[in-house]
Amino acid sequence: MDRIRIVGGNELKGAIPISGAKNAALPLMIASLMTDDTLTLENVPHLADVEQLIRILGNHGVDYSVNGRRERQDAGYSRTIHFTARNIVDTVAPYELVSKMRASFWVIGPLLARMSEAKVSLPGGCAIGTRPVDLFIDGLRALGAQIEIESGYVVAKAPKGLVGNRYAFPKVSVGATHVLMMAAALAKGETVLENAAREPEIVNLADCLNAMGARISGAGSSTITIDGVTALSGARHRIIPDRIETGTYAMAVAMTGGDVLLEGARVDLLEKALDIVAQTGAEVTQTNEGIRIARNGAGISPVDVTTEPFPGFPTDLQAQFMGLMTMSNGRSKITETIFENRFMHVQELARLGARISLAGQSAIVDGVPRLKGAPVMATDLRASVSLVIAALAADGETTVNRVYHLDRGFERLEEKLSRCGATIERISG
């Protein structure tokens, strides 16, 4: 099993190309099930989750071909992939595939809308809480689906097709908004989704579906209106830059000091997080090429944060920010409101010398003047990269184990950091 070895203490200087967003790529790939034409996606990142979803889509009959990155090209040059679901050969998404990645459950919306049936295993994914699928099921039922839970599978049928309706999410859910927006695009009549997620990835999917012939308005607001159409066509669409990767590297620079241009990054995708980074003492500057992050050696100021749905501070940056706060000049409070059980990185950060105490949904971080390298273990995707951020500033050597978590969401992380002066390498086996 691969590990990453880091020797801390180096400032980061240079440029890091920001890859296409994983959280946008996955629903866009799933949208290929909604048409028998070819959907071409640009800026698709090289990630384990993307490769897993390609296998899952192949199980349903989706063919794909790849253009793009050649050997020895710089990291960050993501691929263009053509997806064609001319014939859906299977409407079953089996446990052995879905259990490996939660987002693959989302195929239930397109399959039900196009084929009037779907049998999808209850999902797996990161161990950061229950994340129930009740919202998905309730929303699809509101569109006329008949749904039963049988032997660990969600069995959904709509013999006469889905029918538009008004549905108010009892709580904001990015995944459920993705699924209901896709399902409603092929439903009869108008659907209005209230209390919908507002994340940029929702907007990216709506833009793609509209390019395919859907009629969706209001994406990016809490009310989305979808006028159903009878069929969708192919399209060509570009995936937005990854705002979580952007925020992660911004916090890495704030942690280590230095000056890095995050190439292709967009401020509008994560204004709140960048405001927080600036409050810690880093300089954040928008340029024509992306976002420049710099810290000239001044101390790290403590800042309190609470995770919130977009446009608030993202839960997917909570662990990384905690890593940054471990060396702040004071006490900070980090409150997690989106997922339960998302503080599993605390014990591993403590192995590096961090002083963190938990109180319910909050973590109290008392900054220390220095961290010291040690062997640590990644517990999930975002927790794993928080350990990398801490290790980059720690004295001595840190080994991060179970880095397959990193490969799920960060494209060639060690290459990008090493190009900016970090002493970091992957150790195979």
Binding-site residue numbers for UDP-N-acetyl-alpha-D-glucosamine are 102, 131-135, 171-174, 316, 338
3-state secondary structure of 121: strand
Query: How many Å apart are CA 336 and CA 319, to the nearest integer?
Result: 10
Answer yes or no: 208 catalytic: no
Query: Which residue ranges are tagged as binding site?
Result: 22-23, 102, 131-135, 171-174, 316, 338
For residue 311, give the amino acid letter.
P
Burial class (CB in 10 A: 0-12, 13-18, 19+), 161: middle
Query: Which residue ranges are tagged as binding site for phosphoenolpyruvate?
Result: 22-23
| Two tokens, residue 373 | 């390298």
Annotated catalytic residue within 21, 92, 126, 389 = 126
Going by their DSSP bridges, the two strands 63-67 and 79-84 should be labelled as: antiparallel
For residue 18, give the amino acid letter.
I
Measured at the CA of 281, the angle between CA 279 and CA 283, to 5 degrees, comes to 95
Crossing angle between the packed helical segments 243-256 and 318-325, to the nearest 10 degrees: 0
Which of 356, 318, 350, 322 lies closest to 337, judged by CA?
318
28 CA to centre of own chain: 13
DSSP 46-103: --HHHHHHHHHHHHHT-EEEEE-PPTTPPTT--EEEEEE-SS----EE-HHHHTT-GG
Annotate 43-82 with b (16+ C-beta within 10 A) or e (fewer).
bbbbbbbbebbbebbebbebebeeeebeeeeebbebbbbb
DSSP 176-232: HHHHHHHHHHTSBSEEEEES----HHHHHHHHHHHHTT-EEE-BTBSEEEEE--S--
Which of 76, 43, 155, 34 lies closest to 413, judged by CA?
76
| Two tokens, residue 244 | 């979580």
Q: Establish how many alpha carbons lie within 13 A of residue 380's alpha carbon, considering only the half-sphere containing its beta carbon.
A: 21
Which of 256, 297, 247 lies closest to 275, judged by CA?
247
Tokens 């028998």 belong to residue: 36
| Cβ(212)–Cβ(232) below 8 Å | yes
**Where in the sequence numbering do the catalytic residues fall?**
126
